[in-house]
A and B are shown apart, each in its own frame.
Chain A
Amino acid sequence: MNPPDLITILISGGIGLVAIGAVGMAVSRHLLRLVLALALAEAGANLLLVLAGYRWDAVAPILTGAAMTRPMVDPVPQALVLTAIVIGVGVQALAVALLIRVKEAYGTLDIRELKTRVEQEICGAAGIAPPESANKPGSSQPYPVPVTTSRESA
């Protein structure tokens, strides 16, 4: 494979992952899917960071006994990505722990429902009325009162 093609594939892969993660975070309604989309985006970002040290036709930066004839890739992005992957794993584990508790407390992981319920809880704790829903009917008597015909009472 020509070197340009390989690097193009890898870079598009990295960008694609980040984009998929971003779109996933934008459109998902379920918290677990949001966390998974974040994990995808992090994987994409890590890939892009490793590729920052790429060199054509180079080998891993480990010295073996053999004589070195080929150049080595940049070791610094690899160390950076080690750190970034571990950070990502820590945050994801933490997110899952929080999701367990949220599901236990609210019974749902849908973000829209959670948003209204958290809002209600905050308002309740503060002692103020929750914000009125946009779907609330305009007045307290939405339907006209049925007129009782006088035939029955006659």
Chain B
Amino acid sequence: MNALALPVVLPLLAAFLVRPASLVSSGLARWLGPLVLLLCGAMLVDIALLADGQPVSANIGDFAPPLGIVFYADSMALLFAIAVPLFALLLWPREGMREGGDRVSALMLLLVGSGTGMALSGDLFNLYVFYELLAVASFGLVAASGSARAYAATVRYLLISGFGSVLALIGVALIYTQTGTLNLAQLSEFAPERLANPLGLAAFACLLIGFGVKAELFPVNAWVPEVYATAPKRVSALLAGVVSKLAILVVLRLILLVFDLPEARQMVLVLGLIGLVSGELAAWRARDLPRMLAFSSIGQLGLLFMAMSIPGELGLIAALAVALHHLLMKPALFLLAERWSGGIENLAGAGRKAPLAAGLFTLFALSLLGVPPLPGFWAKLVLLLGLGQQDAVLAQAAIFGVLLMAVVEAHYLFRLVGLLYAKTEHDATPHRMGDLAVASLLGVVLLASMPLLPALAEGLGWMAHQASDVAAYRAMILDSRIPGVAP
């Protein structure tokens, strides 16, 4: 299905044309972005409906893989690909930007294009290129707030991300010298013989850390607190919610297809555990809301990495559940933090002035913590079940870590909620209508998913089954090796 390339390419085209469009008419420039995003979202939904649950693929340029690049869309990829323009529309930056409004539009469009590309691509270097595009677009969006501290935070993010991409390039070079190909399907074919050795593991480690910068993985997440605190909160919401999931999707594909080795999974588990512990402890000590949310995000993504380390379909289900829950919850929390971006002490009594916001915040906090029957509980439960099924000491230690950190989370979250409803006077600025609306929408979706849980669980299970069917992936892509024959 050749139209699969369009949702990636059209936002790029629109990004190139935004600035000349603003020369023609400023209204056109303002609406070009959201319209293109709507179009791409509709196209992706259309593809999903046409595909009817079966994976589809597209050979770019009609060059059969492994010579050319292939886009592969199974249900998991389509889910995240649809989430990108959807959340970009919901979190479209407001007029709070300076007169560089059309540049910000262009950067958002580039973010969407590269994000969709990352979700759909089936070629290692193509994933790297889209990852870099995502990085540069996010640098721009963070720096767009114009404050000096945002510039300083962006520089730090840039340096860490740059070093990560150096490591990722080294990983790609290592893989290429061993296997001679960059196509994920062909790599999964060659992996058992050529990559299941220390060299392959080293390549995986390089790629993990390289792509892990955006996924807030343990050694390379020093940029997170300052960036989330100084960027406009919608941008933080986008970064923490959507962008990190895309990076994690890439790592997930690598683990599933190419590096299905126990040592690789152990590496991911250890880094995830350290991230969880360090993130939650730092969140406990944080004294202002945006950074508390940032550290908590590091912790949650550590949980997600731990879920990815569980082998088999259960691991995938756990990872998808935690990822989707975080995707819904974190942007909403950051939106609520837009007006509450002060110190935690200063929030005392804010709940009485803004009941809807405080109610939403409490809802999301409870779900983050994992209080039944909210979805967060089920996600953590599946994770703990998956970890419990393994015999390794590390997995048992991981279970202990998760439960301990849940206690820490409970402490700082309940402290915050208690403060919100304290009996003191508070002089808060009310939330903007748009932010509250989007946060409420996400809250409604979260609540609505509760009665639908059995159906959701079945859907996730089927998605996991499809995604872990590596043989089918290979068959679909590599069987179109004869040029000119579209699958």
A interface with B by C-beta (< 8 Å): 18, 21-22, 25, 31, 34-35, 38, 41-42, 44-46, 48-49, 51-53, 76-77, 80, 83-84, 87, 90-91, 94-95, 98-99, 101-102, 105-106, 114, 118, 121-123, 125-128
Q: Quick check: is B129 within 8 A (CB to CB) of the other chain?
A: yes
User: Which of A45, A91, A121, A128 is the one whose CB lies under 8 Å from B169?
Assistant: A45
Of A42, A80, A84, A122, which is within 8 A of B230 by CB?
A122
- Contact, CB under 8 Å: A121 / B148: yes
From B44-52, B339-347, B471-479, give the one contacting chain A.
Answer: B339-347
**Among candidates B149, B162, B163, B172, residue contacting A118 with C-beta atoms closer than 8 Å:** B149
A25 vs B163: C-alpha distance when bound (angstroms): 9
Question: How distant is the Cα of A123 from the Cα of B226 in the complex, in angstroms?
Answer: 11
| Contact A25 B169, CB 8 Å, known A80-B125, A127-B342 | no
Q: How far, in angstroms, from A8 to B289 measured CA to CA in the complex?
A: 53
Complex Cα distance, B155 from A38, in Å, reads 12
Residues of chain B within 8 A of A121, CB atoms compared? 148-149
- Partner among B158, B169, B182, B288 whose Cβ is within 8 Å of the Cβ of A122: B288
Indicate which residue in B148, B165, B177, B343 contacts A101 across the interface (CB closer than 8 Å).
Answer: B148
Q: Is the CB of B139 within 8 A of A94?
A: yes
Chain B residues near A84 (CB-CB < 8 A): 169
Tell me how far the C-beta of B131 lies from the nearest C-beta in chain A, rounded to whole angstroms: 10
Number of interface residues of B (CB under 8 A): 41
* Known contacts A21-B166, A91-B135, A91-B158, then 4 further A-B pairs from the complex at CB < 8 Å, ordered by chain A residue: A49-B169, A83-B129, A101-B148, A126-B287
In the complex, chain B residues whose CB is within 8 Å of the CB of A35: 159
Contacts of B176 in A (CB 8 A): 49, 52-53, 76-77
Task: Tell me if B153 is interfacial: C-beta within 8 Å of chain A.
Answer: yes
16 A–B pairs (Cβ distance < 8 Å), ordered by A: A18-B170, A22-B163, A41-B163, A42-B165, A49-B176, A76-B176, A80-B172, A91-B135, A98-B158, A99-B155, A106-B152, A118-B149, A122-B288, A126-B341, A127-B346, A128-B343
Interface residue SS majority, chain B: helix
Q: Which chain A residues border B226 with CB–CB below 8 Å? A: 118, 122
Q: How far is the CA of A34 from the CA of B341 in the complex (A)?
A: 31
Closest to B168 in A: A45
Whose C-beta in chain A lies nearest to the C-beta of B341? A126
Q: Which 3 A-B pairs have the closest CB atoms?
A: A128-B343, A105-B148, A126-B288
Output the nearest chain A residue to B206 by Cβ-Cβ distance: A45
Tell me if B343 and A91 are in contact (CB < 8 A): no
**Residues on A with beta carbons closer than 8 Å to the beta carbon of B132:** 87, 91
B71 interfacial contact with A, CB 8 Å? no
Distance in angstroms from B232 CB to nearest chain A CB is: 13
- Complex contacts, A87 vs chain B, CB 8 Å: 129, 132, 165
Using CB atoms, name the residue of chain B closest to A39: B162
Contact A106 B182 (CB under 8 A): no
Q: A122 vs B231: C-alpha distance in the bound complex, in angstroms?
A: 11
Nearest chain A residue, comparing its CB with the CB of B170: A45
Q: Is the CB of A102 within 8 A of B139?
A: no
User: A87-B129, A126-B343 are contacts. A95–B155 as well, Cβ < 8 Å?
Assistant: yes
Q: Nearest Cβ distance between residue B123 and chain A, in whole angstroms?
A: 11
Contact of B152 among A51, A118, A123 (CB under 8 A): A118
Q: B146: nearest residue on chain A (CB-CB)?
A: A101
CB pair A38 B163 closer than 8 Å? yes
Report yes or no: A49 in contact with B166, Cβ–Cβ below 8 A. Answer: no
Q: Flag if B151 contacts A122 (CB, 8 Å).
A: no
Q: Which residues of B from 138 to 160 have beta carbons under 8 Å from A?
A: 139, 143, 148-149, 151-155, 158-159
B21 on interface, CB distance cutoff 8 Å = no
The distance from the CB of A5 to the nearest CB of chain B, in whole angstroms, is 19
Counting CB contacts under 8 A, is B436 at the interface?
Answer: no
